Structure 1
Amino acid sequence: MGRFGKVGAGNHPAGRRGGAGGFSVWTLLVIVVFVVGVALPTLRAIPSLVEYFSVKRAAGYAKQRAANKREVVEFFEKQAAIDRITAVKGEDLLIREDDNGTIQSVDFSYRTEVPVYGPLSLLITYSGTQH
């Protein structure tokens, strides 16, 4: 035996197998599947999510400012033009009034299709109520 002992023995640095070493093919495959399966659809859905919050904010704004159904539609349309909302129109809103004509709530519901990859897309249904 030489100065280093047997080649490949546990006491030689070249013969040790530890946790360090890099990515395996399976680790790389899991990362790719995660990115394609979770991160990509999430990133593609962000613009529709931003639009949903704009619709929700515009419906709340219209409910606070309006005195009747016609004004709710007008205020919503004005805010929709500012926020570039295309998914919902003022006439699509469900506006509920009490017996005195006071606006109780403004409801909306719509679907949007988010293309993910090729023929694959997500169909997302958004809905909300502003009391």
Structure 2
Amino acid sequence: MGQLGKVVGRIPVRRRAGMGGFSVWTLLVIVVFVIGVALPALRAIPSLVEYFSVKRAASYAKQRAANKREVADFFEKQAAIDRITAVKAEDLLIREDENGTIQSVDFSYRTEVPVYGPLSLLITYSGTQH
């Protein structure tokens, strides 16, 4: 019979070296991966969206403002529009040159993302707008 294996009725059945499909262990690894990696990543998406909003608001404030007070005002207005709660205008580090021109606007903050029960991710965000 050789490669054909056994004959079912009149049709020979070929045996494959490795049958396709998932084993129980493969399924377990996939479930552990989804619970351990993908779920926390999905829960962190809102904080990542807020980070990009903070970055955009800081850039907007730096481009429009002529002094530190205006940077804070523009940032607060944009933060209200984008519903930014992680950073306030007083948290910004605004750097000026000797002429009073805004050189950069820096920010840094931490946010806690709950994952399961008492387990949380602590993420530190920072950025500089030149």
Please confirm whether the aligned pair reaches a TM-score higher than 0.5, indicating the same fold. Answer: yes
Q: CA RMSD in A?
A: 1.5
Q: Following superposition, which runs of at least 4 residues in structure 1 exceed 2 angstroms of deviation?
A: 16-22
Identity %: 87
- In the other structure, the counterpart of 1:119 is 118
The question of 1:98 aligning with 2:97 is answered: yes
Segments of structure 2 that go 5 or more residues without pairing to the other structure are: 7-12
Q: Which amino acid aligns with 1:73?
A: A
Could you tell me the TM-score, scaled by structure 2's length?
A: 0.89
Q: Secondary structure at the match of 2:100?
A: coil
The question of 1:64 aligning with 2:29 is answered: no
CA distance in 2, matches of 1:43, 1:113: 14
CA distance in 1, matches of 2:65, 2:59: 10
Partner deviation per Cα, 1:6-53 (whole Å, 9 max, x = no partner): xxx961238x35433421111011101110111001100000000000
How far did residue 100 of structure 1 move?
A: 0.3
Aligned pair count reads: 123
- In the other structure, the counterpart of 2:106 is 107
CA distance in 1, matches of 2:25, 2:82: 45
- In the other structure, the counterpart of 2:9 is none
Segments of structure 1 that go 5 or more residues without pairing to the other structure are: none
Q: Secondary structure at the match of 2:18?
A: coil
CA distance in 2, matches of 1:29, 1:10: 34
